[in-house]
Amino acid sequence: MEFKTIIEPFRIKSVEPIRMTTADERAHFLREAHFNPFLLPSDKVLIDLLTDSGTSAMSSRQWAAMMLGDESYAGAKSWERFFAEVNDLTGMPHILPTHQGRAAERILYGYLGGKGKYFFSNTHFDTTRANIEFSGGTAIDMPCPEAKDYDSDAPFKGNMDTEKLEAHIRSVGAANVAAVILTVTNNSGGGQPVSMANARAVAGICKKHHIPFVLDCCRIAENAYFVRHNEPDCAHLSYREIAQEMFALADAAVMSIKKDGLVNMGGFLALRDHALSDACTNLLIITEGFATYGGLSGRDMEAIAVGLEEVFEADYLHYRIRSTAYLGERIRDRGVPVIFPIGGHAVYVDAQGLYPHIPLHEFPGQALVCDLYEVGGIRSVEVGSVMFGKYDEQGGFVPAPQELVRLALPRRVYTQSHLDYVIEVFEEIVRRKESARGFRIVHEPPFLRHFTAHFERL
């Protein structure tokens, strides 16, 4: 018989205490952090849903593997194990190890980009966009039309709009398109998965126009779960085989291993093209480290080699995807508007839908992020007009296309009772939603302002 309770498929061997705080303390801590939860010390946070990046709990097998770390400068055994694992997964012959995803982005997009160059994606993640724009290039998002409807149960809202892609390639000229980047799952687009059919269609268009096709694959195992369960022609494949099939379509892959690598630090750039690899390896050596370690120590590479295997285990992925859905479905039942269906690594709350009385230029997403902390000590992240809003040439406010708050779940870290607590905090947020107030930015840097901006409550 099958039981309906899905248990965490692990026992806890080592624990990290959480410090309880009072609402008064939290109000004080938040003021000290200028109402920006990125500026809160982590010991002032009860449940940290800021990110699923680099926050995984490692397994005993990974910790054991770290002791095998070979820290030789060149040709370390740990590099061989890392290379074998990443090469088997991606099928790509050239693997450049970096300290995290954005270092791989800087190398690849810095090299391919520059003034007059275009990058098209289902949705560029913020560091991806920042690296492209920093190179002088232009990043354009083309999510599929279903992505706009938060309520429909379309299974692959992370897909790219292939008609728009064709039209944009025609309008700027294929020679000016530096790359097409498919982000799986689509993090800034609600953590929604991308179908194999869509990946094939995008790959076909890129091939026809001789444009490099890049997979931003940091959550490709979670994506594979949705593909296997919602795309009948892939149902016979294992999760790993699905990922391998998607990699086979691409010319390059950029991975922040801090997500589905189940480790706390790491990234890679995988390439098929020999000449491109030579050019990127030069940049790797100048800015990260020698080709056989890049930005990683030997022990990191050992833990990664194990993590990239463990993440595809069926029990793990089932628990992972179902626990994210558990949180999302329950807060939705309590009247919180969320992007539906629930994605892999996070629940995305429609902050504008929850706080319709706060205008976009007063940042309803930031208001919710602050309220979640004050009410329950929960740290989340705004993915809206603080992160992606802009000013036009006259200094006018241009809001982001979506006003979301992300509750990202670290991997193998929190149990169901932690999530039950988060659900209860949301019940309180719903009760007091009419009294929520907006914010004004009082200090901001020119790039990636959400990390360090200061706010004032209106």
Of 237-266, binders to ligand F0G (CB under 6 A) are 256, 258
We find the least distance from the C-beta atom of residue 458 to ligand F0G, in angstroms, to be 27
Burial class (CB in 10 A: 0-12, 13-18, 19+), 4: exposed
Measured from the CB atom, the residue of 268 and 312 that comes closer to ligand F0G is: 268
We find the least distance from the C-beta atom of residue 115 to ligand F0G, in angstroms, to be 23
We find the least distance from the C-beta atom of residue 125 to ligand F0G, in angstroms, to be 4
We find the least distance from the C-beta atom of residue 280 to ligand F0G, in angstroms, to be 16
Task: Give the pairing type, strands 177-183 and 118-121.
Answer: parallel
| Axis-axis angle for helices 101-112, 126-135 (nearest 10) | 30
H/E segment holding residue 243 = helix 239-248
# of chain residues touching ligand F0G (CB under 6 A): 15
Measured from the CB atom, the residue of 351 and 358 that comes closer to ligand F0G is: 351
Measured from the CB atom, the residue of 159 and 183 that comes closer to ligand F0G is: 183
We find the least distance from the C-beta atom of residue 453 to ligand F0G, in angstroms, to be 16
For residues 117 and 107, give the distance between their C-alpha atoms in angstroms, rounded to a whole number. 15
Measured from the CB atom, the residue of 195 and 438 that comes closer to ligand F0G is: 195
Burial class (CB in 10 A: 0-12, 13-18, 19+), 140: middle
Of 87-146, binders to ligand F0G (CB under 6 A) are 100-102, 125, 127-128
For residues 298 and 69, give the distance between their C-alpha atoms in angstroms, rounded to a whole number. 5
Structure-token match 């706060």, residue found: 358
Cα–Cα–Cα angle for 380, 382, 387, rounded to 5 degrees: 145
Instruction: Check residue 218 for interaction with ligand F0G (CB under 6 A).
Output: yes
Instruction: Check residue 380 for interaction with ligand F0G (CB under 6 A).
Output: no
Binding mask 11-50 for ligand F0G (x = CB under 6 A): ----------------------------------------
> What residue is closest to ligand F0G based on CB?
101
* Helix, strand counts (H, E) of the chain: 15, 16
Measured from the CB atom, the residue of 104 and 358 that comes closer to ligand F0G is: 104
We find the least distance from the C-beta atom of residue 173 to ligand F0G, in angstroms, to be 27
We find the least distance from the C-beta atom of residue 102 to ligand F0G, in angstroms, to be 3
**DSSP codes joined into one string, 288-307:** T--TTTTT--HHHHHHHHHH
Measured from the CB atom, the residue of 59 and 127 that comes closer to ligand F0G is: 127
C-alpha dihedral sign at 175, 199, 219, 376: positive
Measured from the CB atom, the residue of 358 and 453 that comes closer to ligand F0G is: 453
We find the least distance from the C-beta atom of residue 91 to ligand F0G, in angstroms, to be 20
For residues 440 and 429, give the distance between their C-alpha atoms in angstroms, rounded to a whole number. 21
**DSSP codes joined into one string, 10-35:** S---S--------HHHHHHHHHHTTT
Could you tell me which of 195, 215, 219, 182 has the C-alpha nearest to residue 346? 219
Measured from the CB atom, the residue of 49 and 205 that comes closer to ligand F0G is: 49
Question: Do you find a cis peptide bond into 138, omega within 30 degrees of 0?
Answer: no
DSSP 8-state assignment for residue 356: T
We find the least distance from the C-beta atom of residue 107 to ligand F0G, in angstroms, to be 12
For residues 437 and 237, give the distance between their C-alpha atoms in angstroms, rounded to a whole number. 49
Among 53, 122, 138, 324, binds ligand F0G (CB under 6 A): 53
Instruction: Check residue 51 for interaction with ligand F0G (CB under 6 A).
Output: yes
Among 159, 183, 192, 198, binds ligand F0G (CB under 6 A): 183
Among 90, 187, 223, 324, binds ligand F0G (CB under 6 A): 187
Measured from the CB atom, the residue of 127 and 297 that comes closer to ligand F0G is: 127
Beta bridge partners of 440: 456
Measured from the CB atom, the residue of 128 and 402 that comes closer to ligand F0G is: 128
Question: Under the rule (CB under 6 A), what is the footprint of ligand F0G?
Answer: 51, 53, 100-102, 125, 127-128, 183, 187, 216, 218, 256, 258, 267
